[in-house]
Amino acid sequence: MRGGRIRGFPSLPAEGSASRTLEDLDRAGEFVKPLTHTPHFVQGVLGTNVERQGAAQIPNAIDQRFRFSRREKSCVVFVTWTPARKEDSILAFHMFDEDNRLIGGTEPRKAKLRPGESFVQYWTIPLPKLVPGIYRVDVTLGPDPVWRTFFRVTE
């Protein structure tokens, strides 16, 4: 398999060691949180940059894809929101490596969601610092992920 790696099976616990419950494994971050539906979220994409288009200068992600090279300066995570109801919440972006370790993201930011007030957000990911592999991106509203995608970084 080119550009990837094969993960071995986890080692068996030593005989006589204490077993771990699913709750223990969850607290240790062994599971990926499931996505939560929200009527506020429209879509998310990855691209190479953000460009403003038209007379209204509406931002748009350009060169949308899921495979990037470390030779490229960066990629962007671009999400669109159209709030369905009034709600005050927290928005954040998190990035994980292929072993489900948190490797980056943003501090949670307050968001005032209001019907009829659509908006976009985007975050830039510097690519040269990443090792080749598969990465996961989660966008959260409050404590829950509402959008997730994966992307590959090559040499």
Tens-digit pLDDT profile for residues 81-125: 999 999 999 999 999 999 889 999 999 999 999 999 999 999 999
Mean pLDDT of the chain: 90
Distance CA 41, CA 154 (A): 30
Query: Which residue has better confidence, 144 or 10?
Result: 144
pLDDT at 139 over 60: yes
Among 11-25, 37-51, 71-85, 120-134, which stretch is predicted with the lowest mean pLDDT? 11-25
Residues 44-55 have pLDDT tens digits of: 999 999 999 878
Q: Is residue 16 included in any domain, yes or no? A: no
pTM above 0.85, yes or no: no
Look up the CATH number of the domain holding residue 84: 2.70.50.60
In this prediction, what percent of the chain has a pLDDT beyond 90? 72
The domain in which residue 109 lies consists of 35-154
Instruction: Classify residue 79 as exposed, middle or buried by CB count within 10 Å of its CB (0-12, 13-18, 19+).
Output: buried
Select the more confidently predicted residue: 1 or 11: 11
User: How many domains, the chain?
Assistant: 1
The answer to the question of residue 9 being in a domain is: no
Q: Is residue 3 part of a domain?
A: no
pLDDT at position 9: 62
Does any domain span residue 102?
A: yes
Residue 57 in domain: yes
With 0-12 / 13-18 / 19 or more C-beta atoms within 10 angstroms meaning exposed / middle / buried, residue 75 is: buried
Assess whether pLDDT exceeds 50 at residue 1.
Answer: no
